[in-house]
Every structure is written in structure tokens, then in C-alpha cells.
Chains A and B, each alone.
Chain A
Amino acid sequence: MAEYKKPTSEKEFQKNFKQKKPLMNATEAYYEASRCLFCYDAPCIQACPTHIDIPLFIKQIHTDNVTGSAKTIFDANWIGNACGVVCPTGVLCEGACVYNHQDVPPIQIGRLQNYATNTTIEAQKDIFKIGKSNGKKIAIIGAGPAGIACACEARTLGYEVDIFEAKDKPSGLTVHGIAPYKITNEEVLKEIKYLQDQLKFDIKYNSAITSKEQLQKIEKEYDAIFLGVGLGKTATLSLEGEDKKGVVGAVEFIEELRMKHHKTNVPKKVVVIGGGNTAMDAASEAARMGARKTVLAYRRSKEEMGAYGFEYDLAISAGVDSLFNATPIAIVGNGKVEGVKFAKTEIIEGKLQTNMNNVFIVRCDMVIKATGQAKQGSFYQLIDDLEIDTKTRIVVNEETFQTSNKKYFAGGDAINGGAEVVNAAYDGKMAAQGINQWLLK
């Protein structure tokens, strides 16, 4: 069931992609903040990957010390503004709120966080201090949340920082890969500008690092290197007909949508393949772009999906249909996509089996593959002695984020295989501290 009309203007796009966590006004923030119990050793702090002192920043909002509140947030999480709205708070801080045990709605921690930081950013309050220069330089590869967080922390510790970014915008998937109803491009970019204006680190855009020579030059010029390279393009499914026109990767589709908004072309019938959060986003987005029929196809059961329940619910509420226990076996069509051939699956003796006697075609004009991103394996081979695990993730020391090549540190999706912005923000910050420990030893 299609719920949305195809957007033909920016205004219609914004309507279809209405922000899920709109900015609070001062009154709402005040009243919401007043509900916080100020728990002892609060569970929300434990649940936050960056351990923000949540009761404190909420109390600060309530006592009209919004700048102090923003400082509390940024002290723990350099991407605090975006995280307020893009974090899956229902399974993190808000999921841990003790009110849940009382059948009372939990405190809207994410929106309060966004309120405090957004207010402070808009007021252009200077709240950070660059550390006294220690004469050392750090190169950061990738201006995603991990790289930005690493840069900010390193600047407060007195390092010179240069970030090398392949694209023309900072913040990685936060701007390129998050569903538009979670955060706007403007909101993402203004936070980075706010940080950059105060902490003065350099981002070299359109500067992909792809060769051994480039790396050797960087190794020579910098005292330490942080890899915040994330993941690559959507991985191939090796399906028959995968090269047909109209077959796209979810990451590429979402990136195009984020950059081109209503000008993104989404046809009438779309099939999204995958069961993770990205699949939910892509399906929801296709429906919001006016697709008459969007089918979310997952090879296992609903219960086995990797996606959060609320993300699935969001897709369904946007009018997405779901198809479980069906695996794609071919893309059909004459040059361009006309449908996906599926085979039903079943679990036999604990293993997923494809039943080739039960094959059917779902007609569509577009296929979005949300089946995971490729890893940066070939890039990693350029770095000497860099240990990679079996899932092509960089192996780091859990506390210092140092890799097996001592000069290199890493964080974000490159080490966890794909997680939240907040995890990347934590990694980047801790890696800067790890670098600091290592260089000052």
C-alpha cells in the first residue's frame, strides 16, 4: 500500500521525509527535562556507547544552563548533535531509562541532547579549547564521525591534524548514508563546521588515499595515522542478471537520495533485498519517494532480521510490504530490471535451504541491494603489517585503538564491520587518546 505521493519539489520531499525527532522548543525541553529522576549511577549513562553524563546534561537544560549542557555532551561525544537524532536511542539510553520499568514513557534523551547542542551551535557559543601545541602531527584518513571525533580530541590534546577525505563533504555516512527523516544535511554539516571553526583542523576534500606512495608520504610527514575509512560500496550478490539497469546498491541509492532529494529517480515498483537496518531505510525511502509498491525481501524469517524492530515498523508504516523466507536467485529483464526471481527458503537441520521447487517472480522496475557493504580489504593491503580479521575488519587494541602497525590507529565501521555513528564517535575520541599515550610515552 502506497502511503506517499511522489515528491516533485523540495517542499514535498521534506513533507514525505518529515523529521522523526524534530528539534524541541525551549518549553518542551524544560518540561521534558523536569521529568528526569537524576538516577544514581544512571543506567542511561551505562547504555550510551560514549557514556555521556545524561542526568547532568538534562539537569543543566532544566536549570537554563544550555551551554553547559552542550559542553557535557560534547565532552563525551564530539558528534553529540547528530547522535541526538540518529542514535537508536530506544535500544540505547532511552531503552535503559528506569521509567520503562514503571510503564511510563522514558525521557526523550536524544531529543533533549539535540536541543542542547543545536541551541549552542546556533548561538555560536565557543566552548572548546585547542590544546597547547606539542609539535606533533596526526593524519586522519576519512572525515566520517570516527575521523572527526579523532581530530577534535587530538586538537584539544595539542596535535596538528589533517584529514584526508575522498568525498567533497565531511561526516561520512552521517550525511551520505542516514535516512533523510532522521537528520537533514544542513544539521549534519553545521555541527562539523561548528567543531572545525573552534578546533581548526584541516579537511582535504576529494583526496582519496589509494596508493602505497601516498601512504608512505603520509607516514613520513605525520607522527601517527588514524584510519576512519569505513566500508566500501555495496557488496556484489553474484546473482544472474545483477548487472541489469535498475539494480543498485542501498548505500549508493541512499547517498544519491541524500544529495539529490526529490530529483532522485524512483520507479513504481521496487524490491529491496536484505534484512538489516539499511534495508529498512532503503525500503522506507523508496516508499516515501512515491513507489507504488515496495517489497522488502529477506531470505530468513522476520524474527531473524538484523534490523531493529522499530526500523522495521517504520518501513511497514511507510507502506512497505514484506516477503520473508525468500532468496533471490536471479534478476530478470531485457537489459533493464523487470523482476526478481525468488526461491522460497526453509531451515532444515539448522541450515538455510533453498527450495528450487518453489520459485516465483516479483515484478519490479528497481532492485535495491541492502545486503552489506564490501570491506576496504585491498586498501588495507597497502599498509605494512596491518592485521585484519576473518571478516576483513582491522584488528585494534580495545583500549588504545592501536593496530598491529604501531603508527596506525583505527576506529568506526572499519573495525566493527558497520555500527552506529555513536560507536564511531567513541572510537575516534579514544583513538586520539591512544595516540597521545603512545606518542608521549
Chain B
Amino acid sequence: MIDLSVNFAGIKAPNPFWLASAPPTNSGYQIMKAFEAGWGGAVWKTLGVPVVNVSSRYGSVNYRNTRMMGFNNIELITDRPLADNLREIEEVKKYFPDHAVIASLMVESKKEWHQIIKDVENAGADGIELNFGCPHGMCERGMGSAVGQEPEVLKTIVEWVKEAATIPVITKLSPNISHIVDPGLAAVQGGTDSISLINTIKSIVGIDLDSYAPYPIVDGKSTNGGYCGPAVKPIAMNMLKDLAQHPEISKVPISGIGGIETWRDVVEFILLGATSVQVCTAVMHYGFGIVREMETGLRQFMEEKNYKTIYDFAGKALPNITEWKHLNLKHKVVAEINADKCIGCDLCYIACDDGAHQAISLPKEAENRIPSIIEENCVGCNLCALVCPVEDCITMVKKDDGTEHITWHERTMNNDVPTTFDDDRAGGKGHFVPKPTDALK
């Protein structure tokens, strides 16, 4: 029997699928609708002193026939009075006592923090999330990512919060920083109960070629937005890994955010150590109903792998992520083309010839378009397999027998690495490259 329920730093929820603090959690109506649809928790649209928003708030990056591969927004925190939000939090909790309702907060002074914490606790919130991530508008006023980018300030505010809070505190981090461990560690040292990441990334998603204004355009002008959606997932996962591998930070649970849309995304985030996930863009694109796909997919995965709870596999990918210098230099894969599956687009040929290592050749006869691998030139880079439009047509086949193992680190220890510009130990020495003038043929 699979049990999807989570206890995230003391916040209990029937499943790990939570809505991130964003437009889909602007009101009690939306959150009740989401819970009805199957979401286990929701982080309320950030509360604070209500703002005034602009019209024209979102922009998107479309790729090929996919809309909103990347998405950005210049919307601020809630523009609704606090009292309205508090009343709705209370109502939601009345109908859904077992679901997680988390209040995202963003205020300035210690006094305001203490007051608003008391208010949301009285309304029945199960937890608090500190918005130290918003990279547009609010940061100009010294809040949001302005805090997330200053570990010392962040730590102080976490301490203020912890003085007052009796419910679990999640600190939400900004990715707009070169080293995510710094604010992560500051949050833990400030006493946070948990961390969530990533918030949005500062972005310009496109420029109108007539008015020369970036999207979204507000009366001919714009500002940087916060980027999210499927495009940011790889960045989010790397930051999640950085925190989850850190000995101090990993003591608190982490809620994963950033481009999550499918069950596979959810599983990947959990494998990197997240024990709840938060979703926004996918809901803004497809509505609350997508949670059905996430839940059935996660259950199917767990059933096939024989996991009872998400904790059974949380963080399972972390031991396999190491530094480059510890990778086995003796591992060798070579591309193999399945001629029966090949459709003759020859994208692998041109990708390899122009973009990689000239390890694919075309047949002499014009009518035959099936390329072949020149094994001695193939460095096993994967590019051909990645560009191939046919599933399982190009595979990377292991060629070493697995008995040899040496890393850059070990070679360095053995003084066996190239040290001069023309060192004989250069990895590419003697490797085939065509003559420059062959390009002109």
C-alpha cells in the first residue's frame, strides 16, 4: 500500500504536491478548487502590505510548437487586504483540516514580521514560508530577493521570525546568487525549520521588434521579470543538489520548486532530496487538473520500484553526483546506429561533423542515407544520440570492460596529468582531426 502523505518539518499533508506561492494561490476559491482536484498543500500568495500591480504582467518563451517553455512575470505580492486573506485561510482550513495551508510572508520591519506571523497563526495556517526570492519590484523596496542575496540579512530575519513563530518555518531562497549554499546555510543558522527553492530567476524573455520594449510591455516600457517554467528545472535541480549534499543544510527538509510539471519531474526532485514539491507555471498553463498525471505517475513509479513512501527514495540520486575530478576516465562509450530504425535525416552526421568530432560518415551512394560511426574517432559525447529524432536508433554502447578505473584526481595525485601546453599526456593528442583544408572540398 503506497502512502503519499508527508510530514514536512512538522507540516502534514496528504501528498507532496503543493502549489507554490503565486497567482494560483491568490484566493481561497482557487486553493479549495486545487485541494478538490488533488493537491496536498498550498503556499498562499505572499501576504504583506498589499501592493498595486501593473496591467500586462506575464511573458513567455515558446520553443517550436511548445508554448510557455519558459515563463516570466512582473506581478508583485498580494494586492488584497490582509483581513480578506486571513478570513479565507480560516475557511479553507475549516473545509480541509488535513491539507497543508502555508502562508507566504514578506514584510519589512521586525514588528511587522511578528504581527503578521501572529495573524496567520490565528487564522489557522499550518506553516510559514518566508519569501526571500521575488526578483522583481519587491526587491527594489529591500524585500524579496534583496534579502535572499544577503545571507547576513536573511539570517537576521529568520531569527526574528523564529522568535515569534510557533508553527514550522520554510525559508524560500532566491537563485539569483552565485553560491546557493551561502543563503542556505544562513537560513539554517538562523534557525529555519526547512528550506524551499528556487524562486524565479531574473529574466528578459523577449523584445518586441517594433516598439523595442521587452515583454511584458507596460505602456511601452518593461522591467526584468522572474523566470520559471520547464526551462528553469535544470538550474533548480542543481541548486537543490547543492543544498541536499551539504552536511549542515541537509539536516532540514527541502521543498523543491522550479519547472515541475510531470510525475517524472517530481520523482527527479525527490531523488535529489526534496520531500515536497511546489508547482506554479504548469498550473497556470494547464489548470489544477495536471495533478492527476503527477499523482498517478508517481504511484506507478513507486509501485514498480516497490517504494511505500517517498522517503524510501528521497535523495537516492545524491551519492551519484560527484565532482568532475572523481569521474572514471577509463569509462568508454561509443555510438551505435541501428540501420533498421534510421530514417536518414542525417542530423547525427552534420551534428558530429560540424559540432563535435567528425566521427560519422555518410555512404558514397547518394540514394543510401544511412550514416555510420567511425568508431576510432568517436569520443562518446552523446551528441548524435541526442539529436536523433528516432527513439532508440542511436545508442551509446559501453566499450570498456569495467576493470579499469582512474580519475583526474587520482592522476593528479600520481603526477600523471598534462602540465605544459604541449604535454604528451593531452587527452586529444593523436586523436583524428581532418586537415583544415578538407573543409573546402
- The answer to whether B347 and A43 touch across the interface, beta carbons within 8 angstroms, is no
A101→B349 CA distance, assembly (Å):
18
- The answer to whether B389 and A37 touch across the interface, beta carbons within 8 angstroms, is yes
Residue of A nearest to B351 (CB): A40
Interface residue tally for chain A (C-beta within 8 Å): 16
Which of B64, B342, B343 is most buried by chain A, counting CB atoms within 10 A of its CB? B343
A200→B344 CA distance, assembly (Å):
43
- For the residues of B in contact with A, the DSSP-based class is loop
A116→B342 CA distance, assembly (Å):
30
B396 to chain A, nearest CB (A): 21
- The answer to whether B389 and A62 touch across the interface, beta carbons within 8 angstroms, is no
Name the one of B64, B65, B345, B390 contacting A39, with C-beta atoms under 8 angstroms: B345
Is B242 located at the chain interface by the 8 A CB criterion?
A: no
Given A62-B64, A102-B390, A41–B346 Cβ distance below 8 Å?
Answer: yes
Name the one of B65, B347, B349, B366 contacting A34, with C-beta atoms under 8 angstroms: B65
- The answer to whether A98 and B64 touch across the interface, beta carbons within 8 angstroms, is no
A46→B344 CA distance, assembly (Å):
13
- The answer to whether A43 and B369 touch across the interface, beta carbons within 8 angstroms, is yes
B362 to chain A, nearest CB (A): 8
Is A31 located at the chain interface by the 8 A CB criterion?
A: yes
Task: Report B334-358 CB contacts with A as 1/0, cut-off 8 Å.
Answer: 0000000011111101100000000
A37 to chain B, nearest CB (A): 5
- For the residues of A in contact with B, the DSSP-based class is helix
| Residues of A with C-beta under 8 A to B65 | 30-31, 34-35
| Residues of A with C-beta under 8 A to B64 | 34, 62
A284 to chain B, nearest CB (A): 33
Residue of A nearest to B349 (CB): A40
A39→B366 CA distance, assembly (Å):
15
| Residues of A with C-beta under 8 A to B345 | 37, 39-40, 98
| Residues of B with C-beta under 8 A to A37 | 345, 347, 389
Which of B345, B349, B366, B390 is most buried by chain A, counting CB atoms within 10 A of its CB? B345
- The answer to whether A102 and B347 touch across the interface, beta carbons within 8 angstroms, is no
B236 to chain A, nearest CB (A): 26
| Residues of A with C-beta under 8 A to B347 | 37-40
Number of A-B contacts (CB under 8 A): 34
A38→B349 CA distance, assembly (Å):
13
Is A205 located at the chain interface by the 8 A CB criterion?
A: no
Is A99 located at the chain interface by the 8 A CB criterion?
A: yes
B353 to chain A, nearest CB (A): 9
A43→B342 CA distance, assembly (Å):
14
A111 to chain B, nearest CB (A): 16
| Residues of B with C-beta under 8 A to A40 | 345-347, 349-350
| Residues of A with C-beta under 8 A to B390 | 102
B344 to chain A, nearest CB (A): 5
| Residues of A with C-beta under 8 A to B369 | 43, 98
| Residues of A with C-beta under 8 A to B342 | 101
Name the one of A31, A34, A41, A98 contacting B343, with C-beta atoms under 8 angstroms: A98
CB-contacts of A5-53 with B (<8 A): 30-31, 34-35, 37-41, 43, 46
Task: Report A112-146 CB contacts with B as 1/0, cut-off 8 Å.
Answer: 00000000000000000000000000000000000
- The answer to whether A102 and B343 touch across the interface, beta carbons within 8 angstroms, is yes
B391 to chain A, nearest CB (A): 10
| Residues of B with C-beta under 8 A to A31 | 65
A101→B343 CA distance, assembly (Å):
5
A216→B364 CA distance, assembly (Å):
51
Given A31-B65, A40-B349, A40-B350, A101–B389 Cβ distance below 8 Å?
Answer: no
Name the one of B344, B346, B350, B366 contacting A101, with C-beta atoms under 8 angstroms: B344
| Residues of A with C-beta under 8 A to B344 | 39, 43, 98, 101
| Residues of A with C-beta under 8 A to B349 | 40
Residue of B nearest to A101 (CB): B343
A39→B350 CA distance, assembly (Å):
9
A334→B344 CA distance, assembly (Å):
61
Residue of B nearest to A39 (CB): B345
A41→B347 CA distance, assembly (Å):
9
CB-contacts of B365-402 with A (<8 A): 366, 369, 389-390
A420→B353 CA distance, assembly (Å):
37
A-B residue pairs, 10 tightest by C-beta: A40-B350, A40-B346, A101-B343, A34-B65, A34-B64, A98-B343, A39-B345, A98-B345, A37-B345, A102-B343
Interchain Cβ contacts under 8 Å between A and B, 29 examples: A30-B65, A31-B65, A34-B64, A34-B65, A35-B65, A37-B347, A37-B389, A38-B347, A39-B344, A39-B346, A39-B347, A40-B345, A40-B346, A40-B347, A40-B349, A41-B346, A43-B344, A43-B369, A46-B366, A62-B64, A98-B343, A98-B345, A98-B369, A99-B343, A101-B342, A101-B343, A102-B343, A102-B389, A102-B390
Q: Given contacts A39-B347, A102-B390, could you give 7 more A-B pairs where the C-beta distance is less than 8 Å?
A: A35-B65, A38-B347, A39-B344, A40-B350, A98-B369, A99-B343, A102-B389
Give residues in A with beta carbon < 8 Å to B.
30-31, 34-35, 37-41, 43, 46, 62, 98-99, 101-102
